[in-house]
Amino acid sequence: MEKSHHILNAAGNLLGISLLIIAGLHLTKNSGQTLADEVAWVAALSFCASSIFSYLSIRNDGAEQCERTADKVFLVGLGALLIAVAILAASNIA
C-alpha cells in the first residue's frame, strides 16, 4: 500500500495547524516574544515540500524516491511542529 496518499492528507492538515500557530501569534502581536512562529514556519515549509513530493509520487507510478523524500521531509515537519508547540506551551504568553 502506498504511503503517498496518507502523507499528502496528513501534510495538508498539519500545514493548516502550522499556519494557525503563525497567524495566532501574529494577530496577538506575540511573535516577537517567542521562537514558536519561526519554528512553525520551518514546519509549514516542510509540510509544503512533503505535499509536493507526495503528489509527484502519486502522479508518477514507481517514483519511490519521491515517496521516501516525502516521508523524510514529513518527519522533519512533524518534529518542527512538536518543537513549536512545546515552545509555545513553555512560554508565558500562552
What confidence tier does 94 reach under pLDDT thresholds 50, 70, 90?
very low
Which residues have CB under 8 Å from 92's CB, separation 6+?
none
Q: What is the mean pLDDT of residues 14-35?
A: 90
Residue 88 scores a pLDDT above 60: yes
pLDDT at 93: 63
Reported confidence tier of residue 75, pLDDT bands at 50, 70, 90 = very high
Predicted confidence (pLDDT) at residue 60 exceeds the cutoff of 70? yes
**What pTM does this model have?**
0.89
Cell of 37: 512562529
CB 31 within 8 A of CB 25: yes
Give the Cβ contact number of residue 15 at 10 Å. 20
